[in-house]
A and B are shown apart, each in its own frame.
Chain A
Amino acid sequence: MTSRPAPDPVFAFELNGETVTVSAPAHHTLLELLRYRQGLTGTKQGCDKGDCGACTVLLDGSPVLSCLTLAVTVAGRAVTTIEGLGAEHRRAEGRPHPVQEAFDRSGALQCGFCQPGMLLSSAALLRKNPSPTADEVRAALSGNLCRCTGYAQIIEAVLRAAAVERGEDPPAPAWSIEPRDEEP
């Protein structure tokens, strides 16, 4: 078959609060569009097969996997990436999103590679449920693999963000320092 390939579809969608019109081959994923055509490299690629969650973005406010989303299918919808997550808070209140602040504060960011996805899943959870239990946090993040932290400081961070937003004291971390004898 030698028919000329169809021209790339052109479509518009809302990206981090702004309407963009893009052209992308039909067989490209949203992940590819964001990372390599829009320059939004905060969205990470860990497995490209839907197993790790590093490429999580918000589609109309809900976390989805951009590696398993055909780019053209987001036409007319709203996509939020990690670059857009903090933007509204920075604009409105001059501070990052509470989960961004809390992840940094709790040590939840080690290598930082799973975190953009983790933060978007966390932000979506807190929007739906401002007072989650630790188990609810675990369930909400169960599609975001982290290889560094063992999740303890991540869960602490989400609970911290929730507490701070409610105006409460953040939870104590699960780690502690043993009392020590006099120094030599």
Chain B
Amino acid sequence: MAARDRHGSGPPFGDVFKVVGTSARKVDGMAKATGEAVFTDDITLPGMLHAKTLRSPHAHARIVAIDTTRAAALPGVRAVITGRDLPGRFGVLPWTQDETALALEKVRFVGEPVAAVAAVDEDTAIDALELIRIEYELLTPHFDPLDALRDDAAPIHDTRERNVSKNVLLEFGDVNAEFARADVVIDEHYSFHGTTHAAIEPHCALARLGADGVLTLYSSTQITHYVQRTVAKVLELPEHLVRVIQPCVGGGFGGKSDPFSLELCVCKLACITGRPVKMLYDREEVFYTHRGRHPMQMHFRTAATREGKLLALDARTVLDGGAYSSFGLVTTYYSGQLLAGPYALDALRFDSTRVFTNKPPCGPKRGHGAVQPRFAFEVQLDELATRLDLDPIELRRRGALPAYTETLNGQRITSNGLLACLTAVERASEWRVRRGRLPFGVGLGVAASMYISGTNYPVYPNEMPQAGIVLEANRSGLVTVLTGSNDIGQGASTIVRMLVAEELGLALDQVRVVAADTDLCPVDLGAYSSRVTFMVGNAAIDACRKLRAKLTSALAAHWETFEGDIVLSEGEAFDRKEPTRRLSLKEAIAIAEAKYDTLATAGSYNTPKLGGAYRGGTIGASPSYSFTAHVAEVRVDDETGRITCEHLYVAHDCGRALNPMLVAGQMDGSAYMGAAEALMEDHDVDERGLHRGPSLLDYPIPTALDVPGLSSLIVESIDPEGPYGAKEAGEGPLHPAVPAIANAVYDAVGVRLRHLPFTPARVLAELEQQRAALEGRRARC
């Protein structure tokens, strides 16, 4: 099937890329710089109503009765809905659909949506919420996953006997045997706290039911396609009558990759009232919507030889899932499956249990499921290096998987730039002359990682392409690209434009990208799993090759020459052998259109069959993997416990940098986000289940004064699977930031940080313990 073809990593014409590899501007750069770009909340439709959500004040309670009569009677109120109006269960994964748009029988966390009101304005809607009476019967809440796992714990979901959301136990190789022959075993506990995406744009949705029966939903989503399916399912409409449009999205990071209550509520309210309905979450509601990083408690054991050869990893992990499943099944697999690289292991066992608790649901945040175990393992490797008196970079070099291999859990590795990444950060940080030799309080630490470029596991099983593209070449000289993919700021549409321009020899302004409108665009699964550039890029090239064939064959006939001699480049077509034969591409398109009728082609991409032949073997299996290494430079104030990450050297193997400026932006943004998780962010609830700080004041994300210096070093390994050799760059560069900082702190002050976040209070307590131990030792001498 063409969709699975590799397209080669070289330029389409001659030896040189014309567009690929340039730091071309973004398709929407100037629109965003001038305020012209339209985000969901920027849209106002005639007659539009405003909707607000009533939320649960209880962490765990049964809904005994809801009375909405007074709210519905308030002048200006047009509709009030509760769980009974939208009873259809949904969830992004078809196997774990445990959500409803509004709570049905129970509420499971503080802030869970219970009712929604549409009114002529927000003031009226808010007044109406106050008039809704709900009687709750309080139930015992569970905030600690270990507490929720106890046999006598009240089940959070009545359909489940215990609060286990998912358990995965997999073993590859003989772990016990490897531990038996190990010279060294490092056995420690680690924990990763909760963090959230905190995209600056709050979630917003606007729905309208047309006279033609089409329900149109504008939403700040990363996954138009899954939202369309979910709306159709829950509102019991045929999918073809649901149109989902994604306007500009103000950041996602995984926080907009589930279908959400507000999308379903505005659709239902629009259907009831016959008027457009908008709902904009306030910042506090965004914190309750969450789907952020799962807190994890990890017990890791690593076995190695005295030379530093890694033998086995035995990982036991408890994931705190919050109240609903979301992507949690996948998260649970990722917490172990992605540990099989980037280092060779003889055996790997992981036992991961995701637990329901009465907190905002966790889900996918940048580096989904793999950032937490990566932290534990990379710190453990540092501990191993210390034990063996080995340079931590050298330890990683010795363990690095080669290119073109398979991990022991069956993941096929293609290109692999890990060694180049390690070398790049070693050089840039002057590691060899500085590490271990800096004054007390200053230190360097290293960590590395690998991540998927999309996965061959679509969210719902099907044999159809994961990415589709339609091209139309117009006699005006314009090529229009239709893609279902979601540009959420990462530059998806820019990359598509660049690839099409390269393949067809067009100037950038001759390519227009129409994206993320389910009526106009072929299906793409969405902006998650670092799949967009890889999959949509391949689909674009596939479509271009078909269009190019029409152009070149029409021109070959026109010039009575060979197709192979036709070159399309920089807005022109010419005959390589007879360069005086030259036409603008506008003219070339006209010739081809005359010969072949209206010029349109479709292209698609699907992954090859990948993954181990065992249950869950496809989860975490990717057509290619990116590799990353960081060196962090930190300064630790031993009086205050405050860690300042002075610099992050970030080397990332992205295959080929299709647009280096955008790649660097993804690397910078990932690395800084990881550092912030390590040092200042903490998403948690208190003993009542109340969020500890649902605001951008109390959940501090860094200002321009709080970020490390960033040196993003792009490593290009040219992958045979990706478009022109490209792999992902949007998530992988986050992973090593957290352990690299922990390892740098050890180099700086000799304190081993195994529990996140590294707040000054925790670091100071560790330093005090260290001092007490030293003094105790001195006293004994």
Contact = CB atoms under 8 A, between A and B. Distances in A.
Tell me if chains A and B make direct contact, with any CB pair below 8 A: yes
B34 A148 contact: no
B23 A107 contact: yes
A112 B665 CA distance: 13
Contacts of A103: 29, 33
A124 B213 CA distance: 49
A144 B704 contact: yes
Contact of A137 (B29, B199, B491, B704): B704
B704 A142 contact: yes
Given A51-B695, A109-B33, A177-B660, A36 B26 contact: no
Given A36-B44, A142-B704, A150 B668 contact: yes
Interface string A36-79: 10001111111111011010000000000000000000000000
Contacts of B704: 137-139, 141-142, 144, 146, 151, 154-155
B567 interface: no
B33 A183 contact: no
Contacts of A100: 30, 33-34
Secondary structure of the A side of the interface? loop
A114 interface: yes
B9 interface: yes
Contacts of A145: 200, 696, 701, 703
A174 to B, nearest CB: 6
B373 interface: no
Q: Which of B30, B33, B651 has the most CB of A within 10 A?
A: B33
Contact of B39 (A44, A106, A146, A150): A44
Given A44-B39, A150-B673, A173 B703 contact: no
Contacts of A109: 26, 28-29, 32-33
B706 to A, nearest CB: 8
A183 B282 contact: no
Q: How large is the interface on A (under 10, 10 to 19, 20 to 34, 35 or more residues)?
A: 35 or more
Interface in A129-184: 137-139, 141-155, 173-178, 180, 183-184
A131 B713 CA distance: 28
Contact of B705 (A42, A82, A142): A142
Given A112-B32, A145-B703, A175-B668, A49 B714 contact: no
Given A147-B701, A178-B715, A41 B669 contact: no
B202 interface: yes
A81 interface: yes
B697 A175 contact: no
A149 to B, nearest CB: 5
B41 to A, nearest CB: 7
Interface string A12-42: 0000000000000000000000011000111
A176 to B, nearest CB: 6
A109 B29 CA distance: 6
A144 B706 CA distance: 12
B194 to A, nearest CB: 17
Interface stretch (B182-190, B249-257, B590-598): B249-257
B385 interface: no
Nearest to A27: B123
A174 B709 CA distance: 9
A111 B661 contact: no
A106 B32 CA distance: 13
A83 interface: yes
A8 interface: no
A104 B714 contact: no
B212 interface: no
B489 A183 contact: no
Nearest to B30: A104
Contacts of A154: 704
B713 A180 contact: no
Nearest to B121: A36
B672 interface: yes
A141 to B, nearest CB: 5
A150 B696 CA distance: 16
B644 interface: no
23 contacts: A35-B42, A41-B35, A46-B200, A46-B250, A46-B283, A47-B695, A86-B34, A104-B29, A105-B25, A107-B23, A111-B252, A112-B33, A113-B201, A139-B704, A147-B199, A150-B671, A152-B707, A174-B664, A175-B660, A175-B664, A176-B712, A176-B713, A183-B9
Given A103-B29, A111-B250, A178-B424, 9 more contacts: A96-B34, A104-B25, A107-B662, A142-B703, A175-B712, A176-B711, A176-B712, A178-B420, A184-B415
Interface of B: 9-10, 23, 25-26, 28-39, 41-42, 44, 197-202, 248-253, 280, 282-283, 415, 420, 424, 488-491, 651, 657, 660-662, 664-665, 667-669, 671-673, 695-697, 701, 703-705, 707, 709-718, 720, 725
Interface of A: 35-36, 40-49, 51-52, 54, 81-83, 85-86, 96, 100-101, 103-107, 109-116, 119, 137-139, 141-155, 173-178, 180, 183-184
